[in-house]
Amino acid sequence: MSKVYSSAVVIIPPEENWDPIQEIRKKYDRNLNRWMPHITLLYPFRSQEDYNNIAAEFLEVTKLINPFEINLKDFNFFPSGRQTYTLWLDPRPNESIINLQSKILKLVPDCNDVNKFKNGFKPHLSVGQIKGKNNLSTVIADLKSEWNEIKFLLNEIFFIARDENKMSSFKIFRRYQFKDE
C-alpha cells in the first residue's frame, strides 16, 4: 500500500460551524473549492482502494478515543515562501489533537509527512494565504476584532479523497466515531 496526495485523514468541524470560517476562506484561501474546512491529521494518505484494508484497525483505535472539545479562538500563521504566509485558526487543545494523530499514525507509519516539518506536527485549520508581513498583521488584527470563538465536540475523524485531477474537490468517504459517551 502506498500513499497518495488525493487522500487524507482529517478533523472536520460540524457544518453548522462552517459559515464564519468559509467567509474568511472566500476572501483569502485559494483552496476554498478543493478542501472543506479541516484540520489535517494524515496527508498524503492511502488510496481509496486501500480504505477497506485498514478500516478494522482504524475502527478499533478510534473506539478507544474519548470525545473532546475543540476551540477555534486564535489566529496564527506559518511562513510559506517569499513574503507569503499561511493564515490559520489554532485549534485547542493542541495536545489532545497531537495525541489523536499519534495514535492513528501508528496504524500507517509511512503517512508521516505532516510530522516532518521543522517543529513536527502542528494542528491547524488553514483559512488563507497572505502576501506581505504588514498585510498579514493587518488581516490578523481585523479578523481578531470580529471573530467569535467556535467550539465543537470532536467525536469522529474522516477519510477524505478526491479524483486524481488536481482541480477536483475532496469529499468524505469514511467516518470513524470515537468512544460512545
Peptide bond into 93 cis (omega under 30): yes
The pLDDT tens digits along the chain (181 residues) read 789 999 999 999 999 999 999 999 999 999 999 999 999 999 999 999 999 999 999 999 999 999 999 999 999 999 988 899 999 999 999 999 999 999 999 999 999 999 998 889 999 999 999 999 999 999 999 999 999 999 999 999 999 999 988 789 999 999 999 988 6
3-state SS string over 7-26?
Answer: EEEEECCCHHHHHHHHHHHH
Contact 16, 135 (CB under 8 A): no
Q: Is the dihedral of CA 176, 97, 48, 162 positive or negative?
A: positive
DSSP summary character for residue 169: P
Contact 28, 130 (CB under 8 A): yes
Q: Say which CATH architecture domain 3-177 belongs to.
A: Alpha-Beta Complex (3.90)
pTM of the model: 0.96
